[in-house]
């Protein structure tokens, strides 16, 4: 076992890299403040609220990523989710329009939902979103467009 208190020193970086059997360059890359494990993910931390943004995801990834972020919370919290989605034109099927996730017009719930336990995540959030008719719930010009896919979301906690 290696205990290192200051990983900014090159000798300690070598010890840590040796312990985990990785190169020093890989260690430096992962320790960089700009390093992101998922390039589609961004985290914003405010004084009273935090938000997690995913954009450019596949529709099949939506529920897994949503549940992972919510399950990582350690205390009870209130949450609302803004959805980002692609719309396709009914007249010209090749024309698509992307709506960015924001609480002004792409929210999933009218008011934040209180989550008191991990079981609430599936009961109050996941199952509720699955049961929604998202095509009817989302705010967009219905006359000339239809919902193609949810390709992003932002979680407000």
By C-alpha distance, which of 58, 154, 66, 57 is closest to 106?
Answer: 154
Taking all residues of the chain, what is their mean pLDDT, rounded to a whole number?
85
Phi, psi of 146 (to 5 degrees): -135, 155
Instruction: Please indicate, yes or no, whether residues 7 and 54 belong to a single structural domain of this protein.
Output: no
Cβ neighbourhood burial of 45 (10 Å; 0-12, 13-18, 19+): exposed
Going by the DSSP 8-state scheme, the letter that residue 107 receives in this structure is: B
Provide the residue range defining the domain that includes 132. 41-156
Q: Are residues 114 and 146 in the same domain?
A: yes
Domain count, the chain: 2
- Report pLDDT digits (tens) over 58-94: 888 889 999 989 998 889 999 999 999 888 888 887 8
Tell me the whole-structure pTM to 2 decimals.
0.71
Statement to judge: residues 7 and 78 lie in one domain: no
Asked if 94 and 48 sit in the same domain, the reply is: yes
* 96 & 73 share domain: yes
Q: Is 14 in the same domain as 70?
A: no
Among 13-17, 26-30, 124-128, 147-151, the least confident range = 26-30
In total, the chain counts a number of residues equal to 157
């Amino acid at each position: 076992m290696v205990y290192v208190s200051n990983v900014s020193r090159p000798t300690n970086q070598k010890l840590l890299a040796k312990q985990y059997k990785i190169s020093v360059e890989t260690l430096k890359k992962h320790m960089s403040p700009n390093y992101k494990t998922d390039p589609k993910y961004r985290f914003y931390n405010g004084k009273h609220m935090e938000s997690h943004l995913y954009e450019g995801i596949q529709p099949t990834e939506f529920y897994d990523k949503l549940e992972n972020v919510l399950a990582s919370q350690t205390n009870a919290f209130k949450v609302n989710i803004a959805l980002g989605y692609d719309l396709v034109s009914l007249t010209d099927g090749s024309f698509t329009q992307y709506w960015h996730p924001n609480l002004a017009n792409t929210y999933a719930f009218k008011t934040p939902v209180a989550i008191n336990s991990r079981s609430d995540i599936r009961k109050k959030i996941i199952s509720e979103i699955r049961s929604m008719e998202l095509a009817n719930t989302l705010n967009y010009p219905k006359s000339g467009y239809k919902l193609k896919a949810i390709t992003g979301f932002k979680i407000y906690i």
